[in-house]
Amino acid sequence: MKHKALKIVHDEHQAIGAMLQTLRILSSRLSEKAKAEDFELVRAILFYIDEFPEKRHHANETNALFPRLRLRSPEAAEVLDRLEREHSHSQASVREIEHLLLAFEQMGESRHKAFSDALEHFIEFYAHHMQVEETEVLPLADRLLNGDDWDAVNAAFEEHRDPLTGHKPSEEYQALFEKILERAPAPIGLGKPA
């Protein structure tokens, strides 16, 4: 990919997809026999999703990439409007899933189905969202944005790199990423296979 931001978006989508698959694996593990450390790992991954994809990745798309694409392609407004609504929806969804996980952990099996159904819906929603960005928005941006556009977009995306794409986390997030990488099963971590 010739533009840094496009590679960053693609790499971050890959990391998010791997995290979502890991959540799916852990959710099935929770249904077999719930262990405190599995709940803790799911909470850590949900916190990661809230901190990085939701607050940084989506903010870069919404505040840097999408406005420039709107200027160059007014016909993209419909898909960009939908994606921005989905950005708002997904952040609220993460918080709801965190609440449902807490309810499952505290109240037991009677709350498992609500958690697992919401998580599966979120995973499917997110996968579709990223697919639309990859197949519709990024190719359009690649074709239509100019050098000045790319300078601004690249700078925004390079400012906060996702540690799951091979970049060192800030000291503040070091322990979180070590926990995820050491304990999560593949495709994200080095933990025991599912």
Handedness of CA 122, 91, 19, 59 (dihedral sign): positive
Chain centre to alpha carbon of residue 156 = 17
The rounded distance, in Å, linking the Cα atoms of 46 and 43 is 5
Q: Average pLDDT of each block of 10 consecutive residues along the chain (194 residues)?
A: 87 91 89 79 93 88 96 95 94 95 92 95 96 97 95 90 72 83 78 63
pTM of the model: 0.89
Q: Is residue 8 in a domain?
A: yes
pLDDT at 166: 72
Q: Is residue 192 in a domain?
A: no
Buried b (16+ CB within 10 A) or exposed e, 100-133: bbeebbeeeeebbebbbebbeebbeebeebbeeb
Three-point CA angle 105, 179, 188, nearest 5°: 95
Amino acid at 139: P
Q: Is residue 193 in a domain?
A: no
Q: Is residue 188 in a domain?
A: no
pLDDT at 194: 54
pLDDT at 192: 66
pLDDT at 1: 58
pLDDT at 112: 93
Q: Render 13-56 in DSSP notation, one character per residue.
A: HHHHHHHHHHHHHHHHHHHH---HHHHHHHHHHHHHHIIIIIII
pLDDT at 165: 74
Q: Is residue 153 in a domain?
A: yes
Cis bond leading into 187, ω under 30°?
yes
User: 130 phi and psi, to 5 degrees?
Assistant: -65, -35
Q: Is residue 190 in a domain?
A: no
Q: Is residue 132 in a domain?
A: yes
The rounded distance, in Å, linking the Cα atoms of 180 and 90 is 21
Domain count, the chain: 1
CATH number for the domain harbouring residue 89: 1.20.120.520
pLDDT at 73: 95
Dump pLDDT digits (tens) for 12-44: 999 899 899 999 988 988 876 777 888 999 999
Domain of residue 49: give its range: 4-183
